[in-house]
Structure 1
Amino acid sequence: MQALSTFTTSDAQRIAYRFEGEAGRPVLMLSNSIATDMSMWDGVMPQLLERFRVLRYDMRGHGASDVPAGAYSLDRLGRDALELMDALELERVHFLGLSLGGMVAQWLGIHAPERIDHLVLAHTAAYLGPAADWEPRIQTILAATPNETAEAFLGNWFPAEMREKNDPALAPFRKALLETHPRGIAGALAAVRDMDLRRTITLISRPTLVIGGKFDTVTRAEHSEEIAAAIPSAKLVLLPAVHMSNVEMREGFLAEVGGFLR
Structure 2
Amino acid sequence: MTDNAPVLHHEATGPEDAPVLLLGPSLGTSLDIWVPQLAALARAHRVIRYDLPGHGGSPASLLPRQEPGATTVADLAGLVLDLADRHGIGGFHYAGVSLGGAIGTYLAVHRPDRVASLALVCTSAHFGGAQPWRERAALVREKGMAPVAATAPARWFAHPETATTPRGAALLADHAAADPAGYAACCDALAAFDERPGLAAVTAPTQVVAGAGDVATPVSHGSELADSVPGARLDVVDGGHLAVVEEPAAVTELLVAHLARAERS
Give me the TM-score of the superposition, normalised by structure 2.
Answer: 0.90
In the TM superposition, what are the counterparts of 1:71-220 in structure 2 within 5 Å?
71-144=70-143, 146-163=145-162, 166-220=164-218
1:17 equivalent to 2:16? Answer no
Tell me how far 1:13 sits from its aligned partner: 5.2
Structure 2 residues without counterparts, runs of 5 or longer: 261-265
- Alpha-carbon contact 1:121-1:209 (below 8 Å) kept: yes
Q: Is the 8 A contact 1:13 1:60 kept in 2?
A: no
- Mark the runs of 5 or more structure 1 residues left unpaired by the alignment: 1-6
Residue 190 of structure 1 and its aligned partner are, at CA, apart by 0.3
State which drifts further: 155-164 or 198-207: 155-164
Q: CA deviation at 1:163?
A: 4.2
Change (3 A) 1:207 1:163: closer
Q: CA deviation at 1:37?
A: 1.1
Alignment match of 1:245 (pick from 243, 258, 265): 243
1:253 counterpart SS class: helix
- What is the distance in 1 between the residues matched to 2:2 and 2:170? 26
Identity percentage over the alignment?
28
Q: By how many angstroms is 1:64 displaced?
A: 1.2
Name the CA shift for 1:163/1:261 in 2 (closer, same or farther; >3 Å).
closer
Equivalent position amino acid for 2:134 in 1 = E
- Residue of structure 1 equivalent to 2:30: 37
Q: CA deviation at 1:160?
A: 3.7
What is the TM-score of this pair, normalised by structure 1?
Answer: 0.91
Structure 1: distance between partners of 2:196 and 2:188: 18
Number of residue-to-residue matches in the alignment? 254
Would you say the 8 A contact 2:12–2:48 is kept in 1?
A: yes
Deviation at 1:159, TM superposition (A): 2.5
Q: Which runs of 4 or more aligned residues in structure 1 lie more than 4 Å from their structure 2 counterparts after TM superposition?
A: 7-10
Match of 1:28 in 2: 21
Q: Distance in 1 between matches of 2:210 and 2:183?
A: 23
CA contact under 8 A between 1:9 and 1:15: conserved in structure 2? no
How far did residue 24 of structure 1 move?
A: 1.6
RMSD: 1.9
- Displacement of 1:53 in angstroms is 1.1
Quickly say closer, same or farther: Cα 1:157–1:206, change in 2 above 3 A: same
